[in-house]
């Protein structure tokens, strides 16, 4: 069905809009990713979905369309997947620390992402300072390796959809989808995060529906790493079956010695080197997150 017919269904406002079935959502999103629709139609889709909000069925359909079009990363064993799209605005971005701690345990770790705003420090910048440059082509990932794969390599259409935010200033379904997708040709544990409670509910419902293996937590500035200063809630999913892994810590934020006071990429990389060398302690919430990931991936 043409995208105009779908837009008429989802674009009737918050109260009048009708949700799509999983099959319809896959058809619609496939057209968007394939570039067979106009920029005006893409903008209308993004704004309509922003007003209506995505249902788990719709998000599952969007994921079906995306997975059918991804350049998947080959791997020999289950991979830890770390999506990184928010970047750091005030706090140091410690997703690379999480990635390297997991790789030190012998796990293959795939970080994927792209900058979506101009005024943030992104994981790719910190990884580059850690001598982990972005991949220029899709290749297999080895045990104990950290790869950073730009979104454009996985699917150029998905990259274009994410860039719509720079034009209209609003997120669209792609910004949620990239935190839920599995870009691996095989089994993976997706480590995903949310910033607002309503997203926790919708993301959990989608993981259950698509029978995903995942760890879901309240992220640090939207990134899928525990706040170094206070333990967040964490939930696990194995084949979509949800379990509570960690309760959120209450009370004041901790002041950690040595933690960079800004998100500067070079300062963050230096801090990560100090932690990996044992000269600074691994922040307790991140150490606990690593333990939960190790337990989950053994169940896959």
* 274, pLDDT greater than 80: yes
**pLDDT value for 271:** 96
pLDDT above 80 (res 254): no
* pLDDT of 18 higher than 80: yes
pLDDT band at 252 (very low <50, low <70, confident <90, very high): low
How sure is the predictor about 6, in pLDDT bands with cuts at 50, 70 and 90? confident
Q: Does residue 16 surpass a pLDDT of 80?
A: no
Q: Tens digit of pLDDT for each residue in 134-190?
A: 999 999 999 999 999 999 999 999 999 999 888 777 789 999 999 999 999 999 999
Confidence class for position 196, pLDDT limits 50, 70, 90: confident
Residues 229-249: pLDDT tens digits? 999 999 999 999 999 999 988
- Grade residue 14 by pLDDT with cuts at 50, 70 and 90: low
Instruction: Please report the domains of the chain, with CATH numbers, ordered by start residue.
Output: 3-67 (1.20.970.10), 73-297 (3.40.1030.10)
- pTM to 2 decimals? 0.94
SS (H, E, C) 145-199: CEEEEEHHHHCHHHHHHHHHHHHHCCCCHHHHHCCCCCCEECCEEEEEEECCHHH
């Amino acid at each position: 069905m043409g995208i105009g017919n779908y837009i008429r269904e989802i674009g009737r406002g918050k109260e009048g809009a009708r949700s799509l079935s999983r099959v319809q959502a896959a058809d619609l999103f496939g057209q968007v990713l394939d570039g067979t629709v106009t920029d005006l139609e893409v903008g209308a889709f993004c704004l309509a979905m922003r007003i209506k909000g995505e249902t788990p069925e719709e998000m599952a359909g969007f994921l079906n369309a995306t997975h059918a079009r991804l350049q998947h990363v080959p791997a020999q064993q289950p991979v830890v997947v770390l999506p990184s799209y928010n970047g750091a605005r005030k706090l140091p971005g410690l997703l690379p620390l999480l990635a390297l701690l997991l790789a030190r345990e012998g796990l293959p770790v795939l970080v994927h992402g792209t900058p979506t705003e101009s005024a943030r420090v992104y994981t790719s910048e910190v990884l580059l300072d850690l001598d982990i440059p972005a991949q220029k082509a899709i290749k297999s990932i080895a045990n104990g390796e950290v790869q950073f794969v730009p979104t454009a390599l996985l699917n150029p259409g998905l990259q274009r959809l994410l860039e719509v935010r720079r034009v209209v200033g609003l997120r669209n379904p792609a910004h949620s989808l990239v935190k839920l997708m599995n870009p691996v040709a095989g089994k993976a544990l997706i480590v995903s995060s949310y910033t607002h409670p309503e997203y926790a509910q919708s993301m959990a419902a989608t993981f259950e529906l698509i029978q995903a293996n995942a760890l879901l937590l309240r992220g640090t500035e939207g990134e899928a790493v525990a706040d170094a200063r206070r333990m967040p809630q964490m939930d696990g999913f194995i084949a979509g079956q949800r379990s509570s892994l960690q309760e959120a810590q209450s009370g004041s934020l901790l002041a950690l010695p040595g933690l960079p006071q800004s998100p500067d990429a070079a300062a963050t990389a230096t801090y990560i080197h100090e932690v990996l060398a044992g000269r600074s302690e691994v922040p307790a919430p991140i150490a606990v997150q690593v333990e939960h990931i190790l337990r989950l991936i053994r169940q896959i």
